[in-house]
Chain A
Amino acid sequence: MHEYSVVQALLEQIETIASENDATEVTKIIVKIGVMSGVEAQLLEIAFNTFKEKTICDGAEFVMNIQPLTIVCRACHIKSELSARHYCCPECESIDVEITDGEDMFLMSLEMV
């Protein structure tokens, strides 16, 4: 259960950005959570909505976009989204693939007042 640590990092990051932009309130947060980032999205949402209270994000809407694993095959150059956790090109079955998304967590955008 490291979702709390992730939320702490996220809240710190948001506070820094808000103060750089002279915002007094953050009203909407959009994050992108990769399916292979190691974070359970539902737990992250609960943790965020619990710990946002009395911070600049109090009352903010928390939007999570779940990012599937996305690869570009180095053999056939086709871009694919993987449905299973099998790192292999679904088109040509090459294992020489570049992972372009789905393994990380990003703060994407903030709506501030």
Chain B
Amino acid sequence: MCQDCGCSITEHVHTHEHTHEHGHSHEHQAAHETLRHNPQLNDAKTISVITKILDKNNQEAAHNRAHFESHGVLSINLMSSPGSGKTTLLEHMADLADFKFGVIEGDLETSRDADRIKAKGIPAYQIQTGSACHLDAFMVHKGLHAMPMADLDVCFIENVGNLVCPASYDVGSHLNIVLVSVPEGGDKIEKYPVMFRQADLILITKTDLLEHFDYDVEHEKAEARKLKPGVDILEVNIKDSVSVKRVIEWIEFKRKMRG
């Protein structure tokens, strides 16, 4: 065993007597060179890992959830395409809901959404993701520390408008609400199955426009339930406060069921 580097190349046996100090023999050095340059002589080892690739994000998400729970706050991740009516729904809920809520907003640029929510007297924090197409648990963690948790019953996380990327990231919410609006066309649920599979509640929004579009609500509901048989689905027309109240009732029900 080489004492200097701990490798397993055996030192050649000294048969002659000598008194001079010396370093490694030429043979030993040569062996080291060969090792370095010929990877085939090195012991490649294969180790089995089996870890989720987004494990770190998931751990942070669990941490976020624990944080929400310690304050008795229900957290809801709102996801949809840009322009499906996430912010508008929140604005209308501000006037109608009995529970107190705050909003963590995610957008690539601007703080317009947070400004709109704040204008309703609702605490909001804007995350600007730059060019990132989704919120992750680390971004939301920053946002939740900016929320007045002690005063809240519900915290919405309004994700970046996108039907693809946010679906892969647990941000630490208890529930996912996915919106899809009538003008987007009647194939979004089939085209973006991963997103709709994540939904606890699907909101079909802008139903006041149904008469102008060839949109089969029942077909969409059936497609959604192929992906998630037990998913709840509500239709929302923002001009009809009864439809907004049904969303509020759904959230109230979920709050009660969590104790």
User: Which A residues are within 8 Å of any B CB, using their own CB?
Assistant: 1-2, 5-6, 9-10, 12-13, 17, 21, 23, 25, 27-28, 31, 36-39, 85-88, 95, 103-113
Interface centre among A5, A13, A38, A103 (most CB of B within 10 A): A38
Interface bin, chain B: 20 to 34
A88: chain B residues at CB < 8 Å are: 226, 229
- Least CB distance, A84 to chain B, in whole angstroms: 8
> What are some 8 contacts across the A-B interface (CB < 8 A)?
A1-B165, A2-B168, A5-B132, A9-B57, A37-B194, A38-B168, A85-B193, A86-B226
B7: chain A residues at CB < 8 Å are: none
- Least CB distance, B137 to chain A, in whole angstroms: 11
Given A1-B165, A110-B49, 14 other A-B residues pairs in contact with their CB atoms under 8 A:
A2-B132, A2-B165, A10-B53, A21-B45, A21-B47, A28-B46, A31-B53, A36-B194, A37-B168, A86-B227, A105-B52, A108-B50, A111-B46, A113-B45
Contact (A105, B53) CB under 8 Å given A38-B168, A86-B226, A87-B229: yes
Assess the B53–A2 pair: CB atoms within 8 A: no
Contact (A2, B133) CB under 8 Å given A10-B53, A85-B227, A88-B226: yes
Assess the A38–B44 pair: CB atoms within 8 A: no
Assess the B45–A106 pair: CB atoms within 8 A: no
A108: chain B residues at CB < 8 Å are: 48-50
A36: chain B residues at CB < 8 Å are: 193-194, 197
Does B164 belong to the interface (CB within 8 Å)? yes
Complex: how many Å from CA A6 to CA B168? 9
Does B55 belong to the interface (CB within 8 Å)? yes
Assess the B134–A2 pair: CB atoms within 8 A: yes
Assess the B49–A17 pair: CB atoms within 8 A: yes
B47: chain A residues at CB < 8 Å are: 17, 21, 109-110, 112
User: Which B residues are within 8 Å of any A CB, using their own CB?
Assistant: 39, 42-57, 132-134, 136, 164-165, 167-169, 193-195, 197, 226-229
Assess the A87–B165 pair: CB atoms within 8 A: no
Assess the B168–A106 pair: CB atoms within 8 A: no
Complex: how many Å from CA A110 to CA B50? 10
Complex: how many Å from CA A106 to CA B58? 13
Which of A6, A23, A87 makes the CB contact (< 8 A) with B54? A6
Complex: how many Å from CA A88 to CA B228? 9
Assess the B194–A106 pair: CB atoms within 8 A: no
Complex: how many Å from CA A66 to CA B54? 17
- Least CB distance, A12 to chain B, in whole angstroms: 7
A103: chain B residues at CB < 8 Å are: 197
Interface centre among A10, A17, A86 (most CB of B within 10 A): A86
- Least CB distance, A59 to chain B, in whole angstroms: 10
Assess the B165–A13 pair: CB atoms within 8 A: no
Complex: how many Å from CA A106 to CA B51? 5
Complex: how many Å from CA A112 to CA B43? 9
Q: Which residue of A lies closest to B194 (CB)?
A: A38
B46: chain A residues at CB < 8 Å are: 28, 109-112
Complex: how many Å from CA A69 to CA B147? 38
B134: chain A residues at CB < 8 Å are: 2, 5
B43: chain A residues at CB < 8 Å are: 113
- Least CB distance, B40 to chain A, in whole angstroms: 10
B165: chain A residues at CB < 8 Å are: 1-2, 5, 38
